[in-house]
Amino acid sequence: MQTFTGIEYTGVGVSPGRIIGSVRQMPHPVSEPPVGERLAADVTAEDASAALRTASKAVQASLTARSVGAQGAGREVLEATALMASDPMLIKAAVKLITAGSSPERAIWDAAASVAEMLHNLGGYMAERATDVLDVRSRIVAELRGVPAPGIPLSDTPFILVAEDLAPADTATLDPANVIALVTSSGGPQSHTAIIARALGLPAVVAAVGVTAVTDGTLVYVDGAAGTIAVGPGADEVAAAKAWAATAAALTVFDGNGRTSDGHLVPLLSNVGGAADAVKAAAAGAQGVGLLRTEFCFLDRDTEPTIDEQVAAYRGVFDAFPGMKVVLRTLDAGADKPLPFLTDASEPNPALGVRGYRTDFTSPGVLERQLQAVAQAAEGSDADVWVMAPMISTADEAGDFAALCAAAGLKTPGVMVEVPSAALTSEAILKRVDFVSLGTNDLTQYAMAADRQLGPLAALNTPWQPAVLQLVRLTVAGALAEGHGKPVGVCGEAAADPALAVVLVGLGVATLSMTARALSAVGTVLASVTLAEAQKLAAVALAAPNANEARASVRAHLPILEELGL
């Protein structure tokens, strides 16, 4: 083991774990060839066409080889992309452009754009293949240039992946057995990278400025709780990594009983995005579903799914939790989840535009049909189905949604508290609905006016911000003012932070919903404190002048976090 160099990078820890490994840098995205780029004077069209065909075959062979070792959706993605790499229509179109004088890089770039547009216009399954074409385009250009292909690097040994950030497509073939930690120089605590890391149980740090300067093969120590990366780990780091390895296995088992040490019950639920997620969450001991993201039925489609298609999809989740609560969130389209048949891509500010519940203003009928599908699915299931609407801003909107639920035959309507106005008027809102659930990811970005995907704003975009904690407190106060015990839950990523989970319970939150992998850690830490102690720590957090001090002060009172490497 080399001696600690003293070089350390600091970012935002988003998924706990202490691990040592060698770095592999994510290749830079392939840049577009210059518009109008022509064949070099000493290269014939025949030679350029031959080079293009050779590159396409090399890409196909590489993708085919990778698909053999992949599983499930990742294997399907690779197989489909491999087929597209040698698609005769694509190659023929590119060769035609080369014959007209284009460089092979520019030719495949333009040909792929045309093919992708054509496939998209065909709709349905063919439209889904458009993404494969654009992926192949980048890979062929990289092959022609002799640079690394985009995507997760290949390696015979496990490594720590370092990148500027990861796109959703980058994670299709991410194998937790090979990638042992994630570090990015940008992104925030609620970025896609952070969410994926928590779901896979990988130690992760985001917004670690400068970390992309670390060269491939360098040995580093990553602390996903502290948010630090140490180059050339020494004896202390080695000991910490060994201790984490010894305790990590114990943190994968949850007994299915969320509670404080004095017996105060706090059901720990799971966030899921479909039947497969639900089955895994049930196996992990989740006490129900606190957030069923229904976008999985709608995304990557040009048309609205039928009621029958939705019924089948929802029932698969409901059946995984017989007799337990399943909280379904109606379609949260818009902003970072645009849908061609529902949202307007030309909106100047989609995050503040027609998204979530607001799509019913411009496209009435879609929400009603979804609620009909939920009701039909619930009729054939033993699950206790609750339904909530995202992006509710007023009590009137909450009342209108409750009326739609009643018309569909759904008995337990609720709303998401993601907009500060909903937190401030929770008492009035809870006169119209039966429960609220705090979506802390959006609540934080709206309260702090900070895009949750932006690395430079990561310090603002944390639910430890005193303003966000005050909004949680006010939401609970509004529920208590009603005097009838309507519950306030949290389904945002804040619930997966064991220290913050204690604070949320101390503030009066009734249930916590999180990725299934976080259940054991949160359950273990909650069981180490009494309700009174949780309330004292909530007061400590509320009194702190900033997010860093709030987090540090609470963690100082929870030594179990250090013991467990959380």
- Binding residues, as ranges, are 293, 329, 418, 441-442, 452
Q: Which of 120, 192, 264, 557 is catalytic?
A: 192
Residue that the structure tokens 């801003």 belong to: 393
Q: Is 491 a residue of the active site?
A: yes
**E strands of 224-359, at which residues?**
228-231, 268-272, 288-293, 325-329
Instruction: Report DSSP state, residue 349.
Output: -
- Angle, to 10 degrees, between the axis of helix 466-482 and the axis of helix 531-543? 130
**Which segments are annotated as binding site for Mg(2+)?**
418, 442
Q: Which of 28, 297, 405, 491 is catalytic?
A: 491
Query: Phi, psi at residue 23, to the nearest 5°?
Result: -85, 140
User: In terms of Cα–Cα distance, which of 417, 384, 433, 389 is closest to 507?
Assistant: 417
For the question of residue 120 being annotated catalytic, the response is: no
Task: Please choose, from the candidates 180, 275, 281, the residue with its C-alpha nearest in 3D space to the C-alpha of residue 517.
Answer: 281
Contact 135, 113 (CB under 8 A): no
Helix (H, G, I), strand (E, B) or coil at 272: strand
Using a 10 angstrom Cβ sphere, with 0-12 exposed, 13-18 middle and 19 or more buried, the burial of residue 464 is buried
Cα torsion 81, 86, 91, 92 to 10°: value is -130
Binding residues for phosphoenolpyruvate: 293, 329, 441-442, 452
Those residues with Cβ within 8 angstroms of residue 395's Cβ, 6 or more apart along the chain or in another chain = 425, 428, 429, 431, 432
Q: In what order do the strands lie in the sheet with 228-231?
A: 8-10, 228-231, 219-223, 18-25, 159-163, 179-184, 204-206, 12-15
Please report the DSSP string for 380-443 in residue order: T--SEEEEEESS--SHHHHHHHHHHHHHHT-S-EEEEE-SHHHHHTHHHHTTTSSEEEE-HHHH
Report helix, strand and coil shares of the chain as percent, to nearest 5: 50, 15, 35
Angle at 462 between CA 457 and CA 465, to 5 degrees: 110
193 near 13, Cβ under 8 Å? no
Strand duo 228-231 + 8-10: pairing: antiparallel
Q: Which residues are catalytic?
A: 192, 491
